[in-house]
Structure 1
Protein backbone atom coordinates (compact mmCIF):
# COMPACT_ATOMS: atom_id res chain seq x y z
CA UNK A 1 0.00 0.00 0.00
CA UNK A 2 2.87 2.38 0.84
CA UNK A 3 4.41 1.64 -2.52
CA UNK A 4 1.18 2.47 -4.30
CA UNK A 5 0.85 5.73 -2.39
CA UNK A 6 4.49 6.64 -3.10
CA UNK A 7 4.07 5.80 -6.79
CA UNK A 8 0.93 7.93 -7.09
CA UNK A 9 2.68 10.88 -5.39
CA UNK A 10 5.61 10.59 -7.82
CA UNK A 11 3.26 10.44 -10.82
CA UNK A 12 1.32 13.44 -9.51
CA UNK A 13 4.50 15.47 -9.02
CA UNK A 14 5.84 14.34 -12.40
CA UNK A 15 2.64 15.29 -14.19
CA UNK A 16 2.39 18.62 -12.47
CA UNK A 17 5.76 19.90 -13.67
CA UNK A 18 5.81 21.36 -17.15
CA UNK A 19 8.53 20.42 -19.63
CA UNK A 20 11.12 23.03 -20.42
CA UNK A 21 10.05 25.19 -23.29
CA UNK A 22 11.95 24.59 -26.52
CA UNK A 23 10.93 28.08 -27.58
CA UNK A 24 13.09 29.68 -24.85
CA UNK A 25 16.15 27.76 -26.00
CA UNK A 26 15.67 28.80 -29.62
CA UNK A 27 15.15 32.43 -28.57
CA UNK A 28 18.43 32.37 -26.64
CA UNK A 29 20.22 30.85 -29.60
CA UNK A 30 18.69 33.44 -31.92
CA UNK A 31 19.84 36.25 -29.64
CA UNK A 32 23.37 34.89 -29.61
CA UNK A 33 23.55 34.77 -33.44
CA UNK A 34 21.57 37.88 -34.39
CA UNK A 35 23.58 40.97 -35.25
CA UNK A 36 21.98 44.25 -34.18
CA UNK A 37 22.87 47.88 -34.70
CA UNK A 38 24.01 48.10 -31.07
CA UNK A 39 26.54 45.31 -31.67
CA UNK A 40 28.01 47.13 -34.66
CA UNK A 41 28.09 50.45 -32.81
CA UNK A 42 30.31 48.80 -30.18
CA UNK A 43 32.96 48.08 -32.82
CA UNK A 44 35.90 50.43 -32.46
CA UNK A 45 37.12 52.03 -35.67
CA UNK A 46 37.52 55.54 -37.03
CA UNK A 47 35.01 56.37 -39.72
CA UNK A 48 35.83 58.83 -42.50
CA UNK A 49 33.70 60.52 -45.10
CA UNK A 50 34.75 61.42 -48.60
CA UNK A 51 36.09 64.90 -49.22
CA UNK A 52 34.08 67.05 -51.64
CA UNK A 53 36.69 66.48 -54.37
CA UNK A 54 36.59 62.70 -53.90
CA UNK A 55 32.80 62.63 -53.78
CA UNK A 56 32.61 64.62 -57.00
CA UNK A 57 35.12 62.37 -58.74
CA UNK A 58 33.15 59.21 -57.98
CA UNK A 59 29.67 60.66 -58.40
CA UNK A 60 28.98 58.50 -61.47
CA UNK A 61 30.40 55.31 -59.95
CA UNK A 62 27.02 53.66 -59.32
CA UNK A 63 28.25 50.38 -57.86
CA UNK A 64 30.33 52.23 -55.28
CA UNK A 65 27.27 54.29 -54.34
CA UNK A 66 25.30 51.03 -53.99
CA UNK A 67 28.06 49.57 -51.82
CA UNK A 68 27.97 52.61 -49.55
CA UNK A 69 24.20 52.25 -49.21
CA UNK A 70 24.61 48.58 -48.28
CA UNK A 71 27.34 49.42 -45.76
CA UNK A 72 24.99 51.92 -44.11
CA UNK A 73 22.36 49.18 -43.93
CA UNK A 74 24.99 46.85 -42.50
CA UNK A 75 25.65 49.36 -39.73
CA UNK A 76 21.98 49.04 -38.77
CA UNK A 77 22.32 45.25 -38.56
CA UNK A 78 20.93 44.38 -42.00
CA UNK A 79 23.03 41.63 -43.58
CA UNK A 80 20.64 40.83 -46.45
CA UNK A 81 23.02 42.18 -49.12
CA UNK A 82 25.72 39.77 -47.98
CA UNK A 83 23.43 36.72 -47.80
CA UNK A 84 23.41 36.09 -51.53
CA UNK A 85 24.97 33.46 -53.76
CA UNK A 86 28.70 33.74 -54.34
CA UNK A 87 28.22 34.28 -58.10
CA UNK A 88 26.02 37.32 -57.46
CA UNK A 89 28.65 38.85 -55.17
CA UNK A 90 31.40 38.07 -57.70
CA UNK A 91 29.38 39.82 -60.42
CA UNK A 92 28.88 42.85 -58.18
CA UNK A 93 32.62 43.04 -57.42
CA UNK A 94 33.52 42.68 -61.10
CA UNK A 95 31.16 45.52 -62.01
CA UNK A 96 32.54 47.59 -59.15
CA UNK A 97 36.01 47.25 -60.64
CA UNK A 98 35.09 47.76 -64.30
CA UNK A 99 33.03 50.88 -63.61
CA UNK A 100 35.73 52.51 -61.49
CA UNK A 101 36.42 56.02 -62.81
CA UNK A 102 39.88 56.35 -64.37
CA UNK A 103 40.66 59.35 -62.17
CA UNK A 104 40.72 57.14 -59.06
CA UNK A 105 42.75 54.30 -60.52
CA UNK A 106 46.11 54.45 -58.74
CA UNK A 107 48.20 51.64 -57.25
CA UNK A 108 47.31 52.68 -53.68
CA UNK A 109 43.59 52.83 -54.38
CA UNK A 110 43.79 49.61 -56.39
CA UNK A 111 45.30 47.79 -53.40
CA UNK A 112 42.58 49.17 -51.08
CA UNK A 113 39.98 47.94 -53.58
CA UNK A 114 41.53 44.46 -53.48
CA UNK A 115 41.30 44.41 -49.68
CA UNK A 116 37.69 45.61 -49.89
CA UNK A 117 36.85 42.83 -52.35
CA UNK A 118 38.44 40.22 -50.10
CA UNK A 119 36.57 41.40 -47.03
CA UNK A 120 33.30 41.56 -48.99
CA UNK A 121 33.72 37.94 -50.06
CA UNK A 122 34.73 36.83 -46.57
CA UNK A 123 31.71 38.51 -44.97
CA UNK A 124 29.47 37.05 -47.65
CA UNK A 125 30.81 33.55 -46.94
CA UNK A 126 30.48 33.88 -43.18
CA UNK A 127 27.02 35.46 -43.22
CA UNK A 128 25.69 32.53 -45.25
CA UNK A 129 26.75 30.01 -42.58
CA UNK A 130 24.02 28.92 -40.19
CA UNK A 131 26.21 28.08 -37.21
CA UNK A 132 28.61 31.02 -37.29
CA UNK A 133 29.43 32.58 -33.95
CA UNK A 134 28.42 36.17 -33.43
CA UNK A 135 31.96 37.19 -32.46
CA UNK A 136 33.41 35.86 -35.72
CA UNK A 137 30.73 37.59 -37.77
CA UNK A 138 31.31 40.88 -35.94
CA UNK A 139 35.04 40.62 -36.64
CA UNK A 140 34.31 40.16 -40.36
CA UNK A 141 31.97 43.18 -40.28
CA UNK A 142 34.67 45.26 -38.60
CA UNK A 143 37.20 44.20 -41.24
CA UNK A 144 34.82 45.29 -44.00
CA UNK A 145 34.16 48.63 -42.33
CA UNK A 146 37.90 49.19 -41.91
CA UNK A 147 38.56 48.29 -45.56
CA UNK A 148 35.89 50.77 -46.64
CA UNK A 149 37.32 53.49 -44.40
CA UNK A 150 40.83 52.89 -45.74
CA UNK A 151 39.58 53.17 -49.32
CA UNK A 152 37.86 56.47 -48.54
CA UNK A 153 40.96 57.76 -46.80
CA UNK A 154 43.17 56.82 -49.75
CA UNK A 155 40.86 58.57 -52.22
CA UNK A 156 40.84 61.67 -50.00
CA UNK A 157 44.66 61.63 -49.83
CA UNK A 158 44.93 61.35 -53.61
CA UNK A 159 42.84 64.45 -54.22
CA UNK A 160 44.42 66.33 -51.34
CA UNK A 161 47.87 65.69 -52.76
CA UNK A 162 46.76 66.76 -56.24
CA UNK A 163 45.34 69.99 -54.82
CA UNK A 164 48.68 70.95 -53.29
CA UNK A 165 50.70 73.16 -55.53
CA UNK A 166 54.21 72.86 -54.29
CA UNK A 167 56.66 75.16 -55.95
CA UNK A 168 60.32 74.39 -55.99
CA UNK A 169 62.32 77.37 -54.81
CA UNK A 170 64.47 78.98 -57.47
CA UNK A 171 68.05 79.56 -56.51
CA UNK A 172 69.59 82.86 -57.42
CA UNK A 173 73.30 83.00 -57.56
Structure 2
Protein backbone atom coordinates (compact mmCIF):
# COMPACT_ATOMS: atom_id res chain seq x y z
CA UNK A 1 0.00 0.00 0.00
CA UNK A 2 2.80 2.38 0.85
CA UNK A 3 4.54 1.65 -2.47
CA UNK A 4 1.37 2.48 -4.41
CA UNK A 5 1.06 5.74 -2.51
CA UNK A 6 4.71 6.73 -3.25
CA UNK A 7 4.34 5.84 -6.97
CA UNK A 8 1.10 7.80 -7.19
CA UNK A 9 2.73 10.80 -5.50
CA UNK A 10 5.73 10.69 -7.88
CA UNK A 11 3.44 10.51 -10.91
CA UNK A 12 1.53 13.55 -9.65
CA UNK A 13 4.76 15.52 -9.22
CA UNK A 14 5.95 14.57 -12.71
CA UNK A 15 2.64 15.56 -14.30
CA UNK A 16 2.62 18.94 -12.52
CA UNK A 17 6.24 19.71 -13.48
CA UNK A 18 5.60 18.88 -17.15
CA UNK A 19 2.75 21.35 -17.29
CA UNK A 20 4.94 24.22 -16.00
CA UNK A 21 7.69 23.71 -18.55
CA UNK A 22 5.30 24.31 -21.46
CA UNK A 23 4.34 27.78 -20.19
CA UNK A 24 7.92 28.85 -19.60
CA UNK A 25 8.92 27.85 -23.15
CA UNK A 26 6.41 30.22 -24.70
CA UNK A 27 7.55 32.96 -22.35
CA UNK A 28 11.17 32.36 -23.38
CA UNK A 29 10.30 32.55 -27.07
CA UNK A 30 8.45 35.82 -26.56
CA UNK A 31 11.32 37.23 -24.54
CA UNK A 32 13.87 36.43 -27.25
CA UNK A 33 11.76 37.98 -30.01
CA UNK A 34 11.64 41.43 -28.41
CA UNK A 35 15.41 42.09 -28.40
CA UNK A 36 15.66 40.98 -32.06
CA UNK A 37 13.43 43.91 -33.03
CA UNK A 38 15.61 46.30 -31.05
CA UNK A 39 18.73 45.09 -32.88
CA UNK A 40 17.66 46.74 -36.14
CA UNK A 41 19.54 49.88 -37.03
CA UNK A 42 17.20 52.39 -38.63
CA UNK A 43 17.66 55.73 -40.34
CA UNK A 44 16.50 57.43 -37.16
CA UNK A 45 19.18 55.76 -35.03
CA UNK A 46 21.88 56.65 -37.56
CA UNK A 47 20.66 60.25 -37.73
CA UNK A 48 20.93 60.46 -33.94
CA UNK A 49 24.71 59.80 -34.10
CA UNK A 50 26.51 62.99 -33.14
CA UNK A 51 29.84 63.90 -34.73
CA UNK A 52 31.52 66.85 -36.45
CA UNK A 53 30.87 66.44 -40.17
CA UNK A 54 33.26 68.33 -42.45
CA UNK A 55 32.33 68.90 -46.08
CA UNK A 56 34.78 69.52 -48.88
CA UNK A 57 35.36 73.08 -50.02
CA UNK A 58 34.77 73.95 -53.65
CA UNK A 59 38.54 73.99 -54.27
CA UNK A 60 38.82 70.53 -52.73
CA UNK A 61 35.98 69.20 -54.85
CA UNK A 62 37.75 70.46 -57.96
CA UNK A 63 41.03 68.88 -56.84
CA UNK A 64 39.49 65.44 -56.28
CA UNK A 65 37.31 65.47 -59.38
CA UNK A 66 39.30 62.61 -60.95
CA UNK A 67 39.43 60.52 -57.76
CA UNK A 68 36.56 58.14 -58.61
CA UNK A 69 36.90 55.89 -55.57
CA UNK A 70 36.61 58.87 -53.23
CA UNK A 71 33.32 59.84 -54.87
CA UNK A 72 32.11 56.25 -54.64
CA UNK A 73 33.00 56.08 -50.94
CA UNK A 74 31.22 59.40 -50.31
CA UNK A 75 28.16 58.02 -52.09
CA UNK A 76 28.24 54.78 -50.08
CA UNK A 77 28.56 56.72 -46.82
CA UNK A 78 25.51 58.70 -47.92
CA UNK A 79 23.67 55.41 -48.36
CA UNK A 80 24.92 54.26 -44.96
CA UNK A 81 23.32 57.36 -43.44
CA UNK A 82 20.05 56.05 -44.91
CA UNK A 83 20.64 52.63 -43.24
CA UNK A 84 21.65 50.89 -46.49
CA UNK A 85 24.41 48.48 -45.46
CA UNK A 86 24.75 46.62 -48.77
CA UNK A 87 28.20 47.99 -49.61
CA UNK A 88 29.58 47.64 -46.09
CA UNK A 89 28.37 44.13 -45.29
CA UNK A 90 29.11 42.70 -48.73
CA UNK A 91 31.96 40.50 -49.90
CA UNK A 92 35.24 41.15 -48.07
CA UNK A 93 37.35 40.61 -51.20
CA UNK A 94 35.39 43.28 -53.09
CA UNK A 95 35.85 45.68 -50.19
CA UNK A 96 39.60 45.03 -50.10
CA UNK A 97 39.80 45.60 -53.86
CA UNK A 98 37.92 48.87 -53.43
CA UNK A 99 40.30 49.99 -50.66
CA UNK A 100 43.32 49.16 -52.79
CA UNK A 101 41.93 51.18 -55.70
CA UNK A 102 41.01 53.99 -53.30
CA UNK A 103 44.64 54.28 -52.21
CA UNK A 104 46.20 53.94 -55.67
CA UNK A 105 43.86 56.48 -57.32
CA UNK A 106 44.61 59.16 -54.73
CA UNK A 107 45.82 62.34 -56.47
CA UNK A 108 49.52 62.95 -56.05
CA UNK A 109 49.07 66.32 -54.36
CA UNK A 110 47.26 64.56 -51.47
CA UNK A 111 49.95 61.97 -50.88
CA UNK A 112 51.18 63.52 -47.67
CA UNK A 113 51.80 61.69 -44.41
CA UNK A 114 48.70 63.16 -42.76
CA UNK A 115 46.32 62.22 -45.54
CA UNK A 116 47.89 58.79 -46.09
CA UNK A 117 47.53 58.02 -42.38
CA UNK A 118 43.93 59.23 -42.44
CA UNK A 119 43.30 56.93 -45.42
CA UNK A 120 44.68 54.08 -43.34
CA UNK A 121 42.21 54.92 -40.58
CA UNK A 122 39.33 55.03 -43.06
CA UNK A 123 40.49 51.64 -44.40
CA UNK A 124 40.61 50.19 -40.89
CA UNK A 125 37.13 51.48 -40.08
CA UNK A 126 35.74 50.08 -43.34
CA UNK A 127 37.14 46.62 -42.61
CA UNK A 128 36.02 46.74 -38.99
CA UNK A 129 32.50 47.79 -39.96
CA UNK A 130 32.34 45.03 -42.58
CA UNK A 131 33.35 42.46 -39.97
CA UNK A 132 30.88 43.71 -37.37
CA UNK A 133 27.97 43.90 -39.79
CA UNK A 134 28.52 40.37 -41.13
CA UNK A 135 28.80 38.73 -37.69
CA UNK A 136 25.45 38.10 -36.01
CA UNK A 137 26.49 38.14 -32.38
CA UNK A 138 27.84 41.71 -32.37
CA UNK A 139 25.71 44.05 -30.29
CA UNK A 140 23.72 46.87 -31.81
CA UNK A 141 25.68 49.41 -29.77
CA UNK A 142 28.99 48.08 -31.11
CA UNK A 143 27.70 48.36 -34.68
CA UNK A 144 26.54 51.92 -34.07
CA UNK A 145 29.91 52.72 -32.55
CA UNK A 146 31.65 51.40 -35.69
CA UNK A 147 29.34 53.40 -37.94
CA UNK A 148 30.14 56.54 -35.95
CA UNK A 149 33.88 55.80 -36.16
CA UNK A 150 33.66 55.51 -39.96
CA UNK A 151 31.73 58.79 -40.18
CA UNK A 152 34.37 60.51 -38.04
CA UNK A 153 37.27 59.03 -40.04
CA UNK A 154 35.76 60.12 -43.37
CA UNK A 155 34.91 63.55 -42.01
CA UNK A 156 38.49 63.98 -40.76
CA UNK A 157 39.79 62.94 -44.19
CA UNK A 158 37.68 65.74 -45.70
CA UNK A 159 39.05 68.15 -43.11
CA UNK A 160 42.66 67.24 -43.93
CA UNK A 161 42.06 67.56 -47.67
CA UNK A 162 40.62 71.05 -47.10
CA UNK A 163 43.50 71.93 -44.77
CA UNK A 164 46.10 70.73 -47.30
CA UNK A 165 44.68 72.87 -50.10
CA UNK A 166 44.31 75.85 -47.81
CA UNK A 167 47.94 75.48 -46.70
CA UNK A 168 49.09 75.20 -50.31
CA UNK A 169 47.16 78.37 -51.15
CA UNK A 170 48.71 80.36 -48.30
CA UNK A 171 52.19 79.08 -49.15
CA UNK A 172 51.80 80.46 -52.68
CA UNK A 173 51.20 83.98 -51.39
CA UNK A 174 54.47 85.89 -51.47
CA UNK A 175 55.06 88.84 -49.12
CA UNK A 176 55.63 92.18 -50.82
Do these two structures clear the TM 0.5 threshold for a shared fold by scoring above it?
Answer: yes
Q: How does 1:16-165 map to 2 (within 5 A)?
A: 20=26, 28-164=34-170, 165=172
Aligned pairs, number: 154
TM-score, normalised with respect to structure 2:
0.79
Which protein is richer in helix relative to its size?
2
Please, what is the CA RMSD of the aligned residues?
A: 2.1
Match for residue 18 of structure 2?
none
After TM superposition, which residue ranges in structure 1, 4 or more long, deviate above 6 angstroms?
Answer: none
Q: Note the alpha carbon deviations across 1:65-97, whole angstroms, 9 max, x for none.
A: 110011001011111111112211111100111
Output the CA distance in 2 between the equivalents of 1:28 and 1:61. Answer: 45
Structure 2 unpaired stretches of 5+: 1-22
TM-score, normalised with respect to structure 1:
0.80
Shift of 1:22: 8.9
